[in-house]
C-alpha cells in the first residue's frame, strides 16, 4: 500500500478541533489507534475559534471551564478572570494542542463534504471538500451543538453596500466601529456580550430586538493568585463535585421551592443568588424550571432588577420579557448591557410588531421605518444541535440519510449513537447533555470517555461494529421527552427546542435529566455489556 493510501485507511476519523475533538484525538492516540482529524477552521479552538466578536467570553466560571484529564495541566494553567474571555480560552486550547502534540493529526481548512457507511467492509467512506477520500472504522463527530450559524433570509440581503458581519464568523483582524452607524440584529447572548463594547465606539447603535431577554449580571473580575492557587490545589475534589452535579458545575440549592418560601426569605435567597452572579441564579430554587408559580415569582423579581437599570421607563418596558419565564430561554450573563440603553447614541428598536422587512442599499427597513447604517451585525443564532451534522451529508446503512431522518424527527440513543448509522458517534449530539444544561467541558469529556471506552470494549471483545437497536433508541427518546416535557422549557420558543428554525421538528435538543444521572446511565450501559446495542 502506498504511503498516502495507508494514511487514508484509519481506525477513526474525528471531525472538529474544539474541546471535544482535541480530547477525542488525544484519547484515541494514547490507546494506539490510527486517527485522522479534520477541522474547517485554520486552527484549533472550535467555538472559541469562530466566535471572536467583541466581548465574547464564557458564561461558566473559568476555574470550572477546562479539562480535568491531566493533573499537571490543571495545576499549571492560570486563568486571569472569573469568566474567561475568548482570546484566553483560545490560548488555552492552543496550549493543549501543543502540549499533547495534537496538531499534526488534524487537517485544517478542511470541511467534511460527505460520508457513507459501506456495509460490505463495515467502514465509513469519508470525503473532504479538499478531495481526500478516507476509509475509517469509526466516524466521530465533535462538531459542537452551536456551530452552524443561522443566516435569516432577509429580502435584499446583498443589496446593502455597507459592512456586514455575523457574530459567529467574526473577522480575525477585528472591526473598528469608530464614527459608524451600526445595526445589531438579535438580542441573544452574542448580542448582549458585544453590544456594550460596540456602543462605546459607534457613533450610533440601533439594536433590533424581537424577543427581550432576562440577562443577569456576570460580576466578572480578575482572579487573585490566591484564588487560583486554591483552585489548583483542590481540583481533584472540585472535579468530583462537578461530575456529581446536575449541570457539571458545583452549587447548592435550597430544598424548598420558591412558592413555598415566605416573602422575606424569597427576597433574601434571590438577593444572595443574584450577588453570587452567573448561573448560580438558575439554582436559586430547585423548582424554577418546573413550576409555573415559582417561576413567575422569580421572573417578576428579575424584571424589577432590569427596570431599575434603565432611566427611560418606556425603554425599560420594551426590555422586559413577557412571553416566557426566567431560565426557559438561555439566560445570558451581562456586563454593562442594560446600561447602554441609557447612552444617547443607542436606540432599542422593537421589531416584534414591526419586523425587519428588507435590507436596502443604505441600511434596513422595518414595517415601521427605515434606518441608514454603515454596518449591520447579524447576531441571529444557530441551527442548534443538529445543524453541524445535517449539513454534512451523512448516509448510514441502506443509504439512509441522517439529514432526511432528522428533518422528520430528531432521534438518537443517549445523544451519542443513531440507529441505522453503525459506528457513528455524535459527541454533544441532540438528546445528550450539552451547552444548554451542562458545563460543556464536564459533559464533553464524559462523552468522549464513553466513546473511547466503547471502542476499546469492541477491541477487547473482538468486535468491530456497534449500533443501537430501534427499541433502545425509542426508549431513550421516550425517557428524554418525559423529562423535557415535565419542564417549562418546552413552552418557550427558542433554539433550545429548535423553534428558531422554520420547519425543524420540535424537541428539547439537550438532555435535561442531569449530568450526573446521564453519566451513571452511560456507565451502566458500558458495565452491563451494551444491552440494546447490536455488536458485530
Positive or negative CA dihedral for 342, 344, 349, 350? positive
- To ligand NAP, the closest distance from the beta carbon of 76 in angstroms equals 24
Nearer to ligand NAP, 147 or 454 (CB): 147
Reading the block at residue 452, the C-alpha cell is 473511547
- To ligand NAP, the closest distance from the beta carbon of 118 in angstroms equals 36
- To ligand NAP, the closest distance from the beta carbon of 212 in angstroms equals 9
Among the listed residues 306, 349, 351, 424, the single contact to ligand NAP using CB under 6 A:
351
The 3 state secondary structure assigned to 156-222 is CHHHCCCEEEEHHHCCCCCCCCECCEEEEECCCHHHHHHHHHHHHHECEEEEEECCCCCCEECCCCE
- To ligand NAP, the closest distance from the beta carbon of 337 in angstroms equals 12
- To ligand NAP, the closest distance from the beta carbon of 237 in angstroms equals 25
- Measuring CA to CA, which residue among 498, 520, 505, 487 is closest to residue 414? 520
Name the segment binding ligand NAP (CB under 6 A); options: 304-312, 337-345, 373-381, 461-469. Answer: 373-381
Name the segment binding ligand NAP (CB under 6 A); options: 185-193, 315-323, 461-469, 506-514. Answer: 185-193
Among the listed residues 66, 166, 190, 390, the single contact to ligand NAP using CB under 6 A:
190
Q: Which residue is nearest to ligand NAP (CB)?
A: 188
Contacts of ligand NAP in 134-163 (CB under 6 A): 146, 152
Tell me phi and psi for residue 7, to 5 degrees.
Answer: -60, -30
- To ligand NAP, the closest distance from the beta carbon of 193 in angstroms equals 6
397 near ligand NAP, judged by CB under 6 A: no
381 near ligand NAP, judged by CB under 6 A: yes
Question: CA 438, CA 436: separation in Å to the nearest integer?
Answer: 6
Nearer to ligand NAP, 194 or 412 (CB): 194
Contacts of ligand NAP in 86-125 (CB under 6 A): none
Positive or negative CA dihedral for 115, 116, 118, 124? positive
Name the segment binding ligand NAP (CB under 6 A); options: 13-21, 56-64, 65-73, 298-306. Answer: 56-64
Contacts of ligand NAP in 312-341 (CB under 6 A): 330
Query: Which residues are bridge partners to 363 per DSSP?
Result: 372
59 near ligand NAP, judged by CB under 6 A: yes
In DSSP notation, 352-388 reads: SSS-EEEE-SSEEEESS-EEE-SEEEE---B-TTTHH
Tell me phi and psi for residue 350, to 5 degrees.
Answer: -80, 110
Among the listed residues 68, 187, 413, 447, the single contact to ligand NAP using CB under 6 A:
187
β-pairing, 466-468 vs 533-535, is antiparallel
Among the listed residues 44, 90, 356, 432, the single contact to ligand NAP using CB under 6 A:
356
191 near ligand NAP, judged by CB under 6 A: yes
Name the segment binding ligand NAP (CB under 6 A); options: 55-63, 101-109, 278-286, 468-476. Answer: 55-63
Nearer to ligand NAP, 188 or 248 (CB): 188
- To ligand NAP, the closest distance from the beta carbon of 196 in angstroms equals 14
* Distances, alpha carbon 161 to alpha carbons 186, 210, 376, 378, in Å: 21, 24, 10, 15
In DSSP notation, 229-256 reads: HHHHHTHHHHHHHHHTSSSSS-----SS
DSSP 259: G
Nearer to ligand NAP, 408 or 502 (CB): 502
435 near ligand NAP, judged by CB under 6 A: yes
Nearer to ligand NAP, 5 or 354 (CB): 354
Question: CA 211, CA 320: separation in Å to the nearest integer?
Answer: 9
Question: CA 528, CA 531: separation in Å to the nearest integer?
Answer: 7
Give me the 475-504 binding string for ligand NAP, x by CB under 6 A, dash otherwise: --------------------x----x----
Nearer to ligand NAP, 117 or 437 (CB): 437
Reading the block at residue 147, the C-alpha cell is 456551530
Torsion angle of the four alpha carbons 179, 185, 190, 192, in this order, in degrees rounded to the nearest 10: 70
Contacts of ligand NAP in 241-270 (CB under 6 A): none
Question: CA 205, CA 182: separation in Å to the nearest integer?
Answer: 5
Q: What is the contact surface with ligand NAP in residues (CB under 6 A)?
A: 57-59, 146, 152, 167, 185-191, 193, 208, 210-211, 330, 351, 356, 379-382, 435, 495, 500
Amino acid at each position: 500500500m502506498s504511503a498516502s493510501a495507508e494514511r487514508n485507511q484509519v481506525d477513526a476519523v474525528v471531525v472538529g478541533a474544539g474541546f471535544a475533538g482535541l480530547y477525542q484525538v488525544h484519547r484515541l492516540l494514547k490507546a494506539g489507534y490510527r486517527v485522522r482529524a479534520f477541522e474547517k477552521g485554520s486552527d484549533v479552538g472550535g467555538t472559541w475559534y469562530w466566535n471572536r466578536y467583541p466581548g465574547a467570553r464564557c458564561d461558566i466560571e473559568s476555574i470550572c471551564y477546562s479539562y480535568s484529564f491531566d493533573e499537571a495541566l490543571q495545576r499549571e494553567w492560570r486563568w486571569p478572570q472569573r469568566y474567561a474571555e475568548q482570546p484566553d480560552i483560545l490560548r488555552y486550547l492552543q496550549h493543549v494542542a501543543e502540549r499533547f502534540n495534537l496538531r499534526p493529526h488534524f487537517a485544517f481548512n478542511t470541511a467534511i463534504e460527505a460520508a457513507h457507511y459501506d456495509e460490505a467492509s463495515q467502514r465509513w467512506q469519508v470525503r473532504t471538500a479538499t478531495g481526500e477520500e478516507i476509509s475509517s472504522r469509526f466516524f466521530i463527530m465533535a462538531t459542537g451543538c452551536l456551530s452552524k450559524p443561522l443566516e435569516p433570509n432577509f429580502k435584499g440581503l446583498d443589496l446593502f453596500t455597507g459592512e456586514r458581519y455575523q457574530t459567529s464568523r467574526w473577522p480575525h483582524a477585528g472591526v473598528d466601529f469608530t464614527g459608524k452607524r451600526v445595526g445589531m440584529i438579535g438580542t441573544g447572548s452574542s448580542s448582549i456580550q458585544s453590544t456594550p463594547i460596540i456602543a462605546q465606539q459607534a457613533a450610533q447603535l440601533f439594536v433590533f430586538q424581537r424577543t427581550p431577554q432576562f440577562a443577569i449580571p456576570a460580576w466578572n473580575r480578575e482572579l487573585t493568585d490566591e484564588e487560583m492557587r486554591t483552585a489548583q490545589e483542590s481540583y481533584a475534589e472540585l472535579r468530583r463535585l462537578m461530575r456529581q452535579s446536575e449541570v457539571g458545575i458545583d452549587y447548592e440549592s435550597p430544598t424548598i421551592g420558591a412558592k413555598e418560601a415566605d416573602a422575606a426569605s424569597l427576597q433574601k435567597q434571590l438577593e444572595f443568588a443574584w450577588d453570587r452572579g452567573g448561573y448560580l441564579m438558575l439554582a436559586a430554587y430547585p423548582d424554577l424550571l418546573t413550576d409555573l408559580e415559582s417561576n413567575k415569582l422569580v421572573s417578576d423579581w428579575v424584571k424589577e432588577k432590569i427596570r431599575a437599570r434603565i432611566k427611560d421607563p418606556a425603554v425599560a418596558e420594551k426590555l422586559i420579557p413577557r412571553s416566557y419565564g426566567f431560565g426557559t430561554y438561555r439566560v445570558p450573563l451581562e456586563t454593562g448591557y442594560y446600561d447602554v440603553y441609557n447612552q444617547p447614541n443607542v436606540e432599542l428598536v422593537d421589531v416584534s410588531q414591526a419586523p425587519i422587512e428588507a435590507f436596502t442599499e443604505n441600511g434596513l427597513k422595518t414595517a415601521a421605518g427605515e434606518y441608514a447604517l454603515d454596518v449591520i451585525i447579524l447576531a441571529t443564532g444557530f441551527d442548534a444541535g443538529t445543524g453541524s451534522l445535517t449539513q454534512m451529508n451523512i448516509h448510514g446503512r441502506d443509504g439512509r440519510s441522517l439529514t432526511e431522518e432528522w428533518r422528520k424527527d430528531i432521534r438518537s440513543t443517549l445523544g451519542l449513537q443513531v440507529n441505522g448509522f453503525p459506528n457513528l458517534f455524535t459527541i454533544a449530539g441532540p438528546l445528550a447533555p450539552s451547552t444548554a444544561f451542562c458545563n460543556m467541558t464536564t459533559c464533553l469529556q464524559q462523552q468522549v470517555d464513553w466513546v473511547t471506552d466503547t471502542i476499546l470494549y469492541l477491541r477487547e471483545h473482538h468486535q468491530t461494529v456497534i449500533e443501537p437497536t430501534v427499541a433502545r433508541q425509542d426508549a431513550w427518546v421516550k425517557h428524554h421527552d418525559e423529562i423535557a416535557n415535565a419542564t417549562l422549557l418546552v413552552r418557550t420558543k427558542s433554539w433550545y427546542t429548535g423553534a428558531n428554525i422554520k420547519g425543524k421538528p420540535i424537541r428539547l435538543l439537550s438532555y435535561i435529566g442531569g449530568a450526573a444521572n446521564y453519566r451513571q446511565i452511560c456507565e451502566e450501559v458500558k458495565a452491563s455489556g451494551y444491552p440494546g446495542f447490536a455488536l458485530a
